[in-house]
Amino acid sequence: MTTLADFPITQKWPPANPDVIQLYAFPTPNGVKASIMLEETGLPYEAHKVTLADADVKSAEFLSLNPNNKIPAIIDPDGPGGEPLGLWESGAILIYLAEKTGKFMGDSPTQKYATHQWLMFQMGGVGPMFGQLGFFYKFAGSEYEDKRPQQRYINEAKRLLAVLEKHMEGHDWVTGAYSIADIAIAPWLRALDFYGARDVVGWGNHKNLVAYLDRFLDRPAVQKGLVTPSRD
Ligand SMILES: N[C@@H](CCC(=O)N[C@@H](CS)C(=O)NCC(=O)O)C(=O)O
């Protein structure tokens, strides 16, 4: 039978409590999806800080769990059949934890598929597009002379915000009840502030999204998840 000790990542980030879920992350918009979900479900877990530096995400130990060198990743020592399960890709982690606990994926098949739909909208749209906006607007790409890539991602972010703003009219949460779709989407809306890109995408004109993000940030589990693991 496989145990946690069989995962090489535990050599670089040793578990203090090998019986609980091990989270390997950093508090970025993708990383906090996993920590917020763990906080919301109340599942016991231990958070290990894995920075975005090559020494961490490209270490042999981290790559042994996630060959795609990106946080977040988890190991559940009590996975399917009682065997340990390693998992990466934040959307897959959210679905796994939702199924494990029976929480935050909707109470009916229709709601469940709507939750999947908006989760995929984040994974394939909001996350990658806002991430590129961050690169071209705040980070290294902001110095490129050719502004067409920057404009492309500003336009795409605006388009995605308009889709969400319209959808959120009359809704507290993306699929009606609070779900993993919210846990995936809202941290990316928050990231626009970190990128200094709120004005350029007209954030303040999206009254439904402004209220939605405040509602999300009011949740105690969200507040805890946003600082787990600590950056320090
Ligand atoms: N699709 C992945 C994206 C994860 C991702 O982009 N993680 C970033 C931080 S937000 C990362 O680990 N970057 C390190 C690197 O690319 O070297 C997911 O949702 O889990």
List pLDDT tens digits, range 7-54.
999 999 999 999 999 999 999 999 999 999 999 999 999 999 999 999
CB 103 within 8 A of CB 40: yes
Residue nearest to atom 11 of ligand 1 (CA): 70
Distance 71 CA to ligand 1 centre (A): 5
Question: Which residue from 23, 28, 30, 133 has its CB within 8 A of the most atoms of ligand 1, so it is best to mutate?
Answer: 30
pLDDT at 22: 98
List pLDDT tens digits, range 179-232.
999 999 999 999 999 999 999 999 999 999 999 999 999 999 999 999 999 999
Distance CA 52, CA 58 (A): 9
Whether 1 shows a pLDDT value over 90: the answer reads no
Which atom of ligand 1 sits closest to the CA of residue 26?
9
Distance 170 CA to ligand 1 centre (A): 32
Distance CA 45, CA 106 (A): 24
Residue nearest to atom 15 of ligand 1 (CA): 70
| Length of the chain in terms of residues written | 232
